Amino acid sequence: MADNIFDSLPLFEEAIKFFKDKVPLTPKEFYRLEQEYKAKAFTISGIVSLDILNDILNELQKVLDEGITFNEWRKSVNDLLERKGWDGLSPYRADNVFRTNIQTAYSVGSWKRMNDADVVKKRPYGMYDAVNDSRTRPTHLAMDRRVFPLDHPIWDTWWPPNGYRCRCAVRSLSERDVQRMGLTVETKIPEMVTPPGQLARHLVPDPGFDQNPAKKAWEPDMSKYPDDLKRAYLRRAERS
């Protein structure tokens, strides 16, 4: 893979703020969270030490703050893990953690920029843009080039990343863009799609990726959560 998969993306201030608000949780704690709060939490399967998770979270923050590359990040994380007696992350696992978390942060920044009042006046539509190759998931491909108003509820669920290692994006379009590209603005969300050569399936994102993290502010009623989750949240809040 390229040394830095996000070289072409600006460091949105919104993305940096979103990532700083994340809370490290063990996998067990993470999966007890309600779905709408998971975008604001951070975990890695198989790592149960909150100290290690917090260290990795801080290293990811450097990607946004300092613009370090994937290879620099992975080396730093693996050196840290090995010093503390843990196995380093494999290239695949590191890429998964890096891509999913950093893309989510950039996605939040993108959403907020596109939905700025002045921007929406000129470019009121969003077009789902999937990568059309053999690795593109059928449902993601079925969303490719679909256009909806930016205030349409489809963006509550279909805002990338919509799965692990998802490479999709959303492009904002003006009325003139829509006409020039020969596209149609849709208002009804199709329930089923039939990808070429495959059976019909429900048009839904991958499990666990059906929330728009930019639209879910994390202000939980802490009385709903066990003590260990409260402590994790308060620890992170104290450091903010």
pTM of the model: 0.61
CA-nearest of 142, 137, 98, 109 to 18 is 109
**Inter-residue contact 72 to 94 (CB < 8 Å):** no
Q: Is residue 178 part of a domain?
A: yes
Instruction: Give dist(CA 2, CA 54) in Å, integer.
Output: 26
Q: Please name the helix (run of DSSP H) or strand (run of DSSP E) that holds residue 179, with its range, or none.
A: helix 175-180
CA-nearest of 171, 189, 191, 190 to 181 is 171
- Same domain assignment for residues 205 and 223: no
- Residue count (the chain): 240
Q: Which letter does DSSP use for residue 222 in this model? A: G
For the stretch 88-103, pLDDT in tens is 778 877 777 777 777 7
Tokens of 135: 């690795």
Position 205 scores a pLDDT of 92
Give the pLDDT band (50/70/90) at residue 204: very high
Domains identified in the chain, total number: 2
- Same domain assignment for residues 186 and 149: yes
- Same domain assignment for residues 221 and 103: yes
Distances (CA, A) of 118 to 9, 10, 12, 75, 115: 21, 20, 17, 42, 8
Distances (CA, A) of 117 to 9, 111, 112, 121, 157: 22, 12, 10, 6, 21
Show Cβ contacts of residue 231 under 8 Å, excluding neighbours closer than 6 positions: none
Position 46 scores a pLDDT of 57
Show Cβ contacts of residue 204 under 8 Å, excluding neighbours closer than 6 positions: 139, 157, 210
Tokens of 41: 């939490």
**Inter-residue contact 15 to 61 (CB < 8 Å):** no
Q: Look up the domain containing 106 and give its range.
A: 13-111+217-239
Q: Is residue 17 part of a domain?
A: yes
For the stretch 158-199, pLDDT in tens is 999 898 888 899 999 999 999 999 999 999 998 998 877 788
- Same domain assignment for residues 134 and 89: no
- Same domain assignment for residues 107 and 226: yes
